[in-house]
Amino acid sequence: MVSPATGIGTFAWLLLALPVFSATVLLVGGRRTNAWGHLLGCATVLGAFGVGVALFVQELSLPAADRVRELHLFDWIPVNALQVGFGLRLDPLSLTFVLLITGVGGLIHVYSIGYMDHDRDRRKFFAQLNLFVAAMLILVLGNGFVTLYLGWEGVGLASYLLIGWYSDRPAAATAAKKAFLMNRVGDVGLALAIFLLWTRLGSVQFVDVFARIGQVDKPSLIAITLLLLLGACGKSGQFPLQAWLPDAMEGPTPVSALIHAATMVTAGVYLIARTSPIYNLSVDGRLAVVCIGTITLLIGSVVGCAYDDIKKVLAYSTVSQIGYMVLAVGLGPFGYALGILHLLTHGFFKAGLFLGAGSVMHGMHDETDMRRLGGLARYLPITFGTFFLAYLAIIGFPYLSGYYSKDAIIEAVFAQGGWFGAVFGGAAVLGAGLTAFYMTRLVIMTFFGEKRWKDLVAEDGEAYHPHESRAVMTVPMVLLAVGSVGAGAALAGGDRLARWLEPAVGSLREPTVATGMVPRPWVIGLTIGLSALGVLVAILAVGLRPTPVRRPVRVSLPIRAARADLYANAINEALIARPGIWLSRALVFLDNKGVDGMVNGTAALLGGSSGRLRRLQTGFVRSYALSMLGGSVVVIAALLAVRFA
Amino acid sequence: MSGGYLLLALLLLPLLGSVVVAPLRTSPRAAKAVALLFALAELVPTGLAWTEFSTTSAQRLQLRLSVPWIPAFGTSFSLGIDGIALVMLALTAVLVPVVMAASWEDKLPEGRTAAGFYSLVLLVQCFIVGVFAATDVFLFYVFFEVMLVPMYFLIGRFGGPLRQYAAVKFFLYSLLGGLIMLVAVIGLYVVSGQRLGSGTFDWPTLVRIAGTVPIPIQIWLFLGFFIAFAIKAPLVPFHTWLPDAGAEAPIGAGVLLVGVLDKVGTFGFLRYCLPLFPAASRQLAPLVLVLSVIGILYGALLAVGQSDLKRFVAYTSIAHFGFIGLGIYAFSTQASAGAVLYMVNHGLTTGMLFLVIGMLIARGGSRLISDYGGVAKVAPLLGGLFLLAGLASLALPGTNSFVSEFLVLLGSFPRQPVYTILGTVGIIFAALYILWVYQRTMHGPVRGAAVLAPEGPGAASDPAARKARFGDLSRREVAVLAPLVVLVVILGFYPKPVLDVINPAVSATMHEVGLSDPVGGPLR
């Protein structure tokens, strides 16, 4: 049941107003705000975090039955039966996201003060970060599909702006455009799902849709789940729309952290969890979700093994980890909580990893090629320490955050039993092993081994002088490391998160024990064992052998395929981009020569010759007057004829 | 009702302005100032009309005024507006002063004066008001035709290098459409004579008898009106005059042409085609829907392939008009309201895009996309407003166009899922054409013949050492765009006041067509 927001809940609009206010001031104020713009940007997001905490505390004080609340703000799009309201939905799911977005997002804001110190447009950067946070908050707080869509595309815009931050680099500009376009493909799915819901149910507000979803016929229901999934794929970088996410690394590193940890890519997971009343009714829809998640987690972890660019490896690691979350939310009632749990722990350790990578780049002339790094642990001790903890968390080292969330997902998949558990569980375990491999490889190549940068010069021609970052950057990293270590135990202990989310995503059912299921200790053992194997292989293959500074060219086919993103870009290029451009060119030709030529030809024919057409122009006013007169004569004649007929 | 005189004032004020401005040939400053004053004054009766108009009244047409004109032929000088006409009048009143301020420093072709230009703009405004406010079909036809004359001169005398060609093409197309419509207008008169004993051009009377007209006759008359409106709106395949006219027209006239004048076509669909020929509209809707969807996709793909900035805007408009056509002929109040709102929003956003591109071209002196690069670095404000106009054009949520495009698609889906899905795919193309042009002109390294100053001494061949030849937007240019920016954002979040005005009119139209909403059932 949904109740109206009261007390401090009526101030929830501040969550949106604060970052929007800051973004507006910074964009309209321009250079005048240079001196304090970044401070305003941070203060508003941290202020929003404060509001989020207050709402969270209030929510805890309410009985579970009253924890889904709505705050109506204004009528947005009213046309007869369609009444799109602009309002906020305050429930455990949205508030969880609010805390993640403003909390981790706030830390990234603070870190950016240091990271973007040298950029003369830093204030604009903060304006766009604020916009990003605001859009993401609208996405998770909106009380209907249209408000969700507003945030959905708003996030797309903010990512477009920030990925293209270094807009004078053609690669950045192209990556930004690509991100927006691939997102729009997903948006079409979301939009069509909304249209279908409207057609079947006559409303696009969550309250009505969830109450009446049972009336929808089965084919429509499957279509809705698949269309929503397409939307989720776009925003969350899931197969087949994953190719934009690694390119998005062209943006400044705090942006990557924001996109990958606190906002944007989590939106797809949020969408499926939010529309759980719909997915609960469709086994086929959930199976599609599980398939997409599994394919993506494998693609991500395979490609992650092949890259030498530290940010690209992390990007593919996100693709893969989001795959786990999507897999989890596809499992149904218990899975939603698991997916969100992994999303939260991932938010901590992935933000930590990206900020660590940014700190490495900051100290190393923006170098991202790991073949040119190495042995940095001693020079960047805080960065290394926090990075290493986040690394342990992501590979699922026992009792760190990732262990509680990722391993729980793998267990839950196996617990489904039968072919389902074997196929998808097997894939998830395999992914865990690959994750351990590529992450260990990344840590070794960056922080251990030879100092390969010693004899090299950076792109700007200077020698490398690695140095630790300032406190404004390291403090957020330390805080995130704390989260990487402790969040999992804190949230998973006693199913705390799952029970907290229950009012929002429906009653929890422990997965029923299916026949032929693999015993739980075996699953845990298998996961830890494969992960350990991954670490070991990485140590043997990368750690104990010298790493060539130049990337070996003659490599086996699988590595070549992985380096080419498993040919995702080539396929997009060949199937969509190039034929599209050809089609466009052909149509331009056709329109100029064909359609227009026909019109000019007809005109010329009517006029006797094209020369005469040209002559028409000289005495044009007269001829117009003549035709007007002729027309008038016809009219009057016709009128008279009718009158006296 | 006394409100009728407001419409008369709306009509006569620009006419008076035109007459006053025309003789000021020797003093361009005075001509501009006086013209702008008249255009701003027009906002007063527009605002009064908006407050006078009742959104709850059962009267479809309000602020009516009727003076006998040629009683022998059953035609009178009748004015009156419904919500659709009201929002179009408001759009016109907003855009005209913006266009005037935007054209303030335009370089005019040899022998042309500012007085001529501004006088013609005011004349166009007068006739457009007439088109939207007329409630007599013959009066409407007269305004519809006579509107061409000042626009022809604006393009043909003040436009770009190929202005003569473009103007003639525009004229011939429109004239052809107008003549076909004339035949249908006469036919309508004849038919009404058969039903009522004596013929009439009175729109409410014609609507009342519309249901009794045999379907074959309805279809012929419908086609007569439809072709004229489809040329004006332009729907594919009647569109080829627009890229030429849009590209060759001076920016100000181009904004009026695409922003307001072309809306007469879609306005005509709603005001004349649907209520006067309801059965024919229902039967021929698939034809229009196909043309609309082709327009959405075809216009978008052609926009992607353009190399000329102004032609690019023209093709994006063809895609947008496809959405409006889809919304009108999908027959639901959501889609129709969306289409009407689209007409307003398209005027604002495409107007803004056209103006920003005009400011870019005024600086670089070239219309070719390839002559620009990295402009956002040189002129960040210009770049930012270009992006905002582009985002509004691709209907990003939070901008005004989202509301209208969303309403059109959502409202069309229940009855026409296939066409709607195809139309929705169009939004990907929209993102492509906008962002690609933006990337090529605004992003990347600062380069391009239009951006960099010609090589001076010392600059040598190193492009990095060459200075950009132009700077950012002036205060006047920011002031020109500011009202549009404000409206784009406000109508993105709070379109309710406009929708409240539109809704009763589209509900009435749906009633006249004899259909009820596919979702939500019968209307009140």
CA dihedral sign of residues A565, A570, A575, A581: positive
A240 upstream amide cis, omega within 30 of 0: yes
Residue in B305, B406, B436 closest to A587 by CB: B305
pLDDT at A61 over 50: yes
Interface list for B 307-346 with A (CB within 8 A) = 333-334, 337-338
Q: The tokens of B432 are what?
A: 């492509």
Q: What does the alpha-carbon distance between residue A410 and residue A327 come to, in Å, rounded to a whole number? A: 9
Interface list for B 374-393 with A (CB within 8 A) = 374, 376-377, 384, 391
- Give me the pLDDT at residue A594, please: 63
Mean pLDDT check: name the lowest of A183-197, A503-517, A613-627, B412-426.
A613-627
Between residues B220 and A590, the one the model is more confident about = B220
Nearest to A151 by CA among A264, A71, A15, A25: A264
Closest-CA distance, B456 to chain A, in angstroms, reads 24
- Give me the pLDDT at residue B121, please: 95
Q: The tokens of B422 are what?
A: 């195809």
B235 part of contact set with chain A, CB < 8 Å? no
User: Taking CB atoms and an 8 Å cutoff, what residues of chain B touch A588?
Assistant: 302, 305-306
User: Taking CB atoms and an 8 Å cutoff, what residues of chain A touch B493?
Assistant: 76, 86
Closest-CA distance, B30 to chain A, in angstroms, reads 29
**High-pLDDT (> 90) share of chain B, %:** 64
- Give me the pLDDT at residue A622, please: 47
Measured in residues, chain B has a length of 524
Residue pair B468/B378 in contact by the 8 Å Cβ criterion: yes
Mean pLDDT check: name the lowest of A40-49, A172-181, A560-569.
A560-569
The whole-number average pLDDT for the span A419-437 is: 90
pLDDT at A333 over 90: no
The whole-number average pLDDT for the span A615-632 is: 50
Work out the pLDDT band at B111, boundaries 50, 70, 90.
confident
pLDDT at A499 over 70: yes
pLDDT at B462 over 60: no
Q: What does the alpha-carbon distance between residue A268 and residue A234 come to, in Å, rounded to a whole number? A: 8
Mean pLDDT check: name the lowest of A13-27, A239-253, A576-590, B264-278.
A576-590
Per residue in B149-190, pLDDT (tens digit) is 899 999 988 988 888 888 888 888 888 888 899 999 999 999
Respond yes or no on whether ipTM tops 0.95. Answer: no
User: Is A603 in Cβ contact with B302 (below 8 Å)?
Assistant: no
- Give me the pLDDT at residue B2, please: 62
The whole-number average pLDDT for the span A41-61 is: 92
Q: What does the alpha-carbon distance between residue B423 and residue B98 come to, in Å, rounded to a whole number? A: 31
Residue in A199, A583, A624 closest to B519 by CB: A199
Q: Kindly list the distances between the CA atom of residue B179 and the CA atoms of A599, A607, B145, in Å, as whole numbers in the listed order.
A: 17, 17, 9
pLDDT at A514 over 70: no
pLDDT at A95 over 70: yes
Work out the pLDDT band at A544, boundaries 50, 70, 90.
confident
B421 part of contact set with chain A, CB < 8 Å? yes
Per residue in B250-304, pLDDT (tens digit) is 999 999 999 999 999 999 999 999 999 999 999 999 999 999 999 999 999 889 8
Closest-CA distance, A290 to chain B, in angstroms, reads 26
Work out the pLDDT band at A387, boundaries 50, 70, 90.
very high
User: Is A154 in Cβ contact with B397 (below 8 Å)?
Assistant: yes
**Predicted model pTM:** 0.91
Work out the pLDDT band at B101, boundaries 50, 70, 90.
very high
- For helices A218-236 and A283-304, the axis angle rounded to 10 degrees is 20
Per residue in B188-212, pLDDT (tens digit) is 999 998 888 888 899 999 999 998 9
Mean pLDDT check: name the lowest of A314-328, A509-523, B360-374.
A509-523
- Give me the pLDDT at residue A619, please: 44
pLDDT at B339 over 70: yes
Q: Which residue in B has a C-alpha nearest to residue A30's C-alpha?
A: B381
Interface list for B 9-68 with A (CB within 8 A) = none
Residue pair B351/B321 in contact by the 8 Å Cβ criterion: no
- Give me the pLDDT at residue A617, please: 45
pLDDT at A89 over 80: yes
User: Is A595 in Cβ contact with B507 (below 8 Å)?
Assistant: no
- Give me the pLDDT at residue A621, please: 47
Residue in B443, B500, B521 closest to A167 by CB: B443
Per residue in B116-159, pLDDT (tens digit) is 999 999 999 999 999 999 999 999 999 999 998 899 999 988 98
User: Taking CB atoms and an 8 Å cutoff, what residues of chain B touch A157?
Assistant: 391, 396
- Give me the pLDDT at residue A170, please: 86
Q: The tokens of B462 are what?
A: 């190193």
pLDDT at A565 over 80: no
Q: How many Cβ pairs closer than 8 A exist between chain A and B?
A: 200
Give residues with Cβ within 8 angstroms of B445, minimum separation 6: A168, A170, B373, B374, B463
User: Taking CB atoms and an 8 Å cutoff, what residues of chain A touch B302?
Assistant: 584, 587-588, 591
Q: Which residue in B has a C-alpha nearest to residue A638's C-alpha?
A: B186
Alpha helices in B162-276 (DSSP H): 163-196, 203-209, 215-232, 241-248, 251-256, 263-268, 274-276
What value does the mean pLDDT of chain A take?
84
Residue in A157, A180, A191 closest to B424 by CB: A191
Closest-CA distance, B435 to chain A, in angstroms, reads 6
pLDDT at A246 over 70: yes
B424 part of contact set with chain A, CB < 8 Å? yes
